[in-house]
Structure formats: structure tokens, C-alpha cells
Chain A
């Protein structure tokens, strides 16, 4: 048992995720409290080069052909062994398609406590989680003996997890036998749509509040009038009302327009994390406590079905 804070670095196709740096930043907050070091864990094949800008005291690196791409089974087995051997004070995972596929199995296998959706770490190692679509925060103590944590973005800046000094890398062996039950067949590239919403300067985004497929027209008319492009949050795309190429959020695009007009979007964390790079967010939502108003610059609780047609009409008049 030691006081170190481990961070499970996430990388895909030779690129380290931004959240990995946020996890390193959070780890420093925790390590300050426990008095341990920040240790980055990297699993991969020929991936040592990814570690040069980590703000970490050291890196433990595991190289294996079966770890060349993310495989939930291979990652879970490998990380279970490392955590069991080193017994750090805490291990931080991303609350992501990678971290969430591994941490639960490790918790169940080793009988270690798990706190998910952690956003910040406060004094005395208090963990603050963001739940219920961002409407409720929960405070927990850092559980013993080894706390497994999943981190959501928003509490730290990625730059805090970067350093100009490369941390020392120690390679550690792993025994992974063939015969994994999960195998990656191939990657399928995202559909390329008619537009690349990540590069558009003016986005008209619609969410669950738009209610029906027919109502998408309201947003399209506004977009046409003002010279913007329509995009959407997850529920709208899952309904098949707009193609995946228009999806903003965790598994869609991250956008950084000059103006992001969010119509009927509540502001769930998976959506918010993809729009924080916008210059100005304007939110229209009848729920006055919708989390979107916490990140928007301007907001209104006016009914979108009344507001949007009036707004479109006025813009048309101005533009002639």
C-alpha cells in the first residue's frame, strides 16, 4: 500500500486524449493530499513516445501486441494485475468509452471501491461527482484502500496536465495469453457529411426540446436565414431526425463556433464537454434550472416554438 495516484492514460490511434491530461491534473490535486507521486500508466505497443509531455512523476509502460488497440478485456486484465501489485492510493480512469469499459470489472474483481463521474477534487481529498445530467453534485471521501475513480471533464484544464520535462519511463512486463474473447476487427471512419460542423462558425443546435422531426424545420429555417448550420444533441440523432455527422457531444463532434445557439438542449455533461470551446453560447430552454444556463452567456426561458419563428422572421426582414 502506497500513497501514489495512478492515472490510466487513454490513447487511440497514436493520439493521447485531452481527458488524459485533465486526469493528470486532477491526480496532482489528489497526490498533494496523500503525499504520494503521480504515476501515468500507459498500455500499448510502441507507444512510449506518447509520454513525453506528461506532467507526471513517472510513467509505467506496458508493451504488448494485444494492447496495440483498445480491447476492454486485455485492458481490464492488465490493469487489474498492475493495481493489485502496486496497490496505489487511487487510480484515475476517464469516464469514457475506454475507462468505463475497464474500471467496473477491476472494481468487482479486486473488491475495490469505485466513485464515478468525479469532476473535481477538493480539500482533504473530497471527491465531487456530477450526476443526474449535471443537476446534482455528490461529495464523497476518498475511499480506502485503493480508490478507483472515473473523471469527467470540466474541473481542470488540460494544460495543467502537460509539462516540458519528460517523465522517466519504466517498462513493466505483462503476461497476456492469447485466446481473448474480444477482438477488434476494424475501425470504421465517421460518415463525412455535407458539412464539417467542427469548423462552422455559427451553429444552430437542437435537442430533445424540439419534440418532433417536423419541428427540425424551424431550426433549418433559422439557420438558412442567419447563415448558420443545424446540428443536434444525442436524443435527436438517436431518433434519426438528423444524421450522425451533425452530432455534437461525447461520441460526436467537438465544436468551437463563434456562436452556438442551443435550442431545447438541457446541457447534459456529455453535450457540454463538446461545446465549451464556443465563443458565445446562447441557450433557449423553458426549464429555468437547465444546466445549459450555467455555461451559456445569454439565455431565455421563452418557448422555442414561439420564439424561433419570430426570430427567423426578423432576421429575414433585416437581411431583406
Chain B
């Protein structure tokens, strides 16, 4: 079985985000980029399927700063083939443009199964999975938290609100949007990643022209107004504890 995993880097939300001078994009100068957490789960799910069924796993990502580290880390986890995609990525690339351009590359890789993160926190034109599936004429199911291969089908667990699961089957080839792998993404030692940097090479492929139509044009970005912000207690732990005790007493809990 041939599994393809397209992944992307997103701004780390732990860092402060600022908006650039144009007012329509994040200031990239200070951004720390990390793998989209759902993509990390997609990689884990792919590795789990490789361990169960002997699948061959290829990971693809666009060539932006930090991509090499991401690809080598995936290789250290057990990904067989790592590819970065070159193109005019910086100029406001979006999921419509990417899914169109990636579909031709992925078709040539002849996937049986494509796994990708169900969404990314900075998506503004929907998630990439269902769009890519449409261009590849494959069925798509998202919000998946479990995948089992059964002949020429996969059986998946789709999440619904309130903890309800829909068990669905889908014939291959198919594309799945992963919410969570069956186990947390594995940790790999830096030494193993370094070893991959020496022994494995990143393949490079060119994205064809990027056509952004279908994605919205941003007028402006802004930070949400915090009009009804919380009453802030002390930042000192002892004082904050005292204040919380008072609040709990007022609320009748103590």
C-alpha cells in the first residue's frame, strides 16, 4: 500500500503573533513555525499503518523555512520517502492554490491512501483535504481518529459531537482528514534525526503555477478586541491563591 502524507508548517501559537505593515498578513519575521498538529497525527497514523500492513509512506511539504527539519524528523519516525515542493510559496499561498498544484504531483505518485491533517489553525479557505480529494476524484472523510485497512477498503472512525463515533468504510484510493492518530505522535531523539540528515536525501519537485482563485482576499487582519476581558488576579502564586479562595467562598464553594 502506498500512503502519501501532505503536511504543512504553521505559526506556533505559543508565540505572540503580530500583523505586518500591509495589515493583511502575519509578520513572518518573528514567527516560529511548527508542524500543523493534525498533520503530525496524520504522520503517526501513516507510520502505524506501515507497522501493521507494511505500507510505503511518502511525506510532502512545501519548501519554506524549517521544512528540512520537519522532513528529517518524519524520516526518523519511519517515513520512507521525503519530498519538498518548490514554487512561489511566499506570495500568499492558500489551500485552493496548493491543492490544485499538488494534485498533479500526487497523482503521479499513485497513492492508495492519502492522510492529511483535518485542518490547520491558519486555514482561511477551508481545509486542504477535501479540495485535494476533489481534484484527484477520490472520496474524502475528515475528523478521523482511527484507520484500519481491510482489503481494498479502509474502515475509519469519524468523530461526531458528544463523543459519538461513526464507523465508516471507504473504498481505496481515498483521502482521509486526520483529527487524531490511534496513539500520540511518537517522539524521536535528535540523534536519530541527525543520522537521517546524513543518510537520507530530500527529493525536490516543482509545483506548477499557483492559481489562488477560490480563496478569499483578506481586507485586513486584526487581533480580537478584548472588551469583556477577565478581571485579572495577582500574577504572584500566593496572592492569586488567596484571591481564588475569596472567590470560591463568594461563589459558595467553600
Interface string of B1-32 (1 = CB under 8 A from A): 00000000001011011010000001000000
Interface string of B213-224 (1 = CB under 8 A from A): 111111111111
Chain B residue, CB-CB nearest to A307: B237
Interface string of A214-246 (1 = CB under 8 A from B): 000000000000110000001100111000110
Provide the main secondary structure of the chain B interface. Answer: mixed
A135 on the interface (CB 8 Å rule)? yes
Cα distance A8–B228 when bound, in Å? Answer: 32
The one of B129, B219, B230 that contacts A299, using a Cβ cutoff of 8 Å: B230
Q: Which residues of B contact A141 (CB under 8 A)?
A: 216-217, 219
Interface string of A91-134 (1 = CB under 8 A from B): 00000110011111101110111111100000000110111111
B63 on the interface (CB 8 Å rule)? no
B93 on the interface (CB 8 Å rule)? no
Interface string of A289-316 (1 = CB under 8 A from B): 1010111111111110011001100110
Q: Which residues of A contact B202 (CB under 8 A)?
A: none
CB <8 Å contact, A133 and B168: no
A266 on the interface (CB 8 Å rule)? yes
CB <8 Å contact, B121 and A97: no
Cα distance A295–B218 when bound, in Å? Answer: 26
Enumerate B52-67 residues with CB–CB distance to A below 8 Å: none
CB <8 Å contact, A108 and B219: no
CB <8 Å contact, A283 and B230: yes
Partner-binding segment picked from B70-78, B83-91, B139-147, B192-200: B139-147
CB <8 Å contact, B159 and A297: no
B245 on the interface (CB 8 Å rule)? yes
The one of A107, A184, A251, A253 that contacts B168, using a Cβ cutoff of 8 Å: A184
CB <8 Å contact, A251 and B163: yes
A137 on the interface (CB 8 Å rule)? yes
Cα distance A131–B130 when bound, in Å? Answer: 19
A83 on the interface (CB 8 Å rule)? no
CB <8 Å contact, B219 and A139: yes
Q: Which residues of A contact B224 (CB under 8 A)?
A: 130, 134-137, 291, 294
Cα distance A132–B16 when bound, in Å? Answer: 11
A181 on the interface (CB 8 Å rule)? yes
Cα distance A96–B32 when bound, in Å? Answer: 28
Interface string of B160-175 (1 = CB under 8 A from A): 1111111111110010
Q: Which residues of A contact B251 (CB under 8 A)?
A: 258-259, 280
Q: Which residues of B contact A295 (CB under 8 A)?
A: 228, 230
Q: Which residues of A contact B96 (CB under 8 A)?
A: 107-108, 114
Interface string of A41-70 (1 = CB under 8 A from B): 000000000000000000000000000011
Interface string of A181-213 (1 = CB under 8 A from B): 111111111110000000000100000000000
Chain B residue, CB-CB nearest to A273: B161
CB <8 Å contact, A310 and B165: no
Enumerate B29-62 residues with CB–CB distance to A below 8 Å: 37, 41
B241 on the interface (CB 8 Å rule)? yes
CB <8 Å contact, B241 and A131: no
Total interface residues on A, using CB and 8 Å?
Answer: 102
CB <8 Å contact, B124 and A131: yes
A33 on the interface (CB 8 Å rule)? no
The one of B159, B219, B247 that contacts A251, using a Cβ cutoff of 8 Å: B159
The one of B16, B164, B228, B231 that contacts A189, using a Cβ cutoff of 8 Å: B164
A9 on the interface (CB 8 Å rule)? no
Interface string of A245-258 (1 = CB under 8 A from B): 10100111110001
CB <8 Å contact, B127 and A100: yes
The one of B166, B215, B229, B235 that contacts A184, using a Cβ cutoff of 8 Å: B166
A140 on the interface (CB 8 Å rule)? yes
Q: Which residues of B contact A311 (CB under 8 A)?
A: 241, 244-245
CB <8 Å contact, B14 and A287: yes
Cα distance A296–B226 when bound, in Å? Answer: 11
Chain A residue, CB-CB nearest to B185: A238
A143 on the interface (CB 8 Å rule)? yes
Q: How far apart are A212's CB and chain B's nearest CB, in angstroms?
A: 12
Chain B residue, CB-CB nearest to A319: B254
Q: Which residues of B contact A176 (CB under 8 A)?
A: none
Q: Which residues of A contact B188 (CB under 8 A)?
A: none
Q: Which residues of A contact B135 (CB under 8 A)?
A: 108
Question: Can you list the 10 inter-chain pairs with the closest CB atoms, starting with the nearest?
Answer: A104-B130, A190-B163, A299-B230, A306-B237, A108-B134, A296-B230, A140-B216, A188-B165, A97-B143, A300-B233
* 16 additional contacts (CB under 8 A) given A115-B216, A126-B219: A101-B140, A103-B126, A105-B130, A107-B126, A108-B96, A113-B213, A127-B216, A132-B11, A132-B13, A136-B224, A184-B167, A186-B166, A226-B253, A254-B162, A307-B240, A318-B245
